[in-house]
Amino acid sequence: MNGQQMAEARARIEAGEAVRVVARAYTVTPKTLRATLARQKP
């Protein structure tokens, strides 16, 4: 995932969208998405 995708994913999750739905949109697993966002804390 690039920086733009990470920002979009974080915004979608904060807006209440389910993590698995957001992960699917970026073709990653929910576990990978959570780990990626945790590493890239703003």
The band of 3, judged by pLDDT with boundaries at 50, 70 and 90, is very high
Which residue in 37, 29, 30, 32 sits closest to 6, CA to CA? Answer: 37
Q: Is 1 exposed, middle or buried (0-12, 13-18, 19+ CB in 10 A)?
A: middle
Which pTM does this prediction carry? 0.84
Q: Which pLDDT score, from 0 to 100, does residue 42 have?
A: 64
Mean pLDDT value across residues 16-25: 98
**Would you kindly state where each structural domain of the chain is located, as residue ranges?**
3-39
Q: Which pLDDT score, from 0 to 100, does residue 17 have?
A: 97
3-class secondary-structure state, position 28: coil
Residue pLDDT, tens place only, 26-42: 999 999 999 999 998 76
Mean pLDDT of the chain: 94
Q: Which pLDDT score, from 0 to 100, does residue 38 have?
A: 95
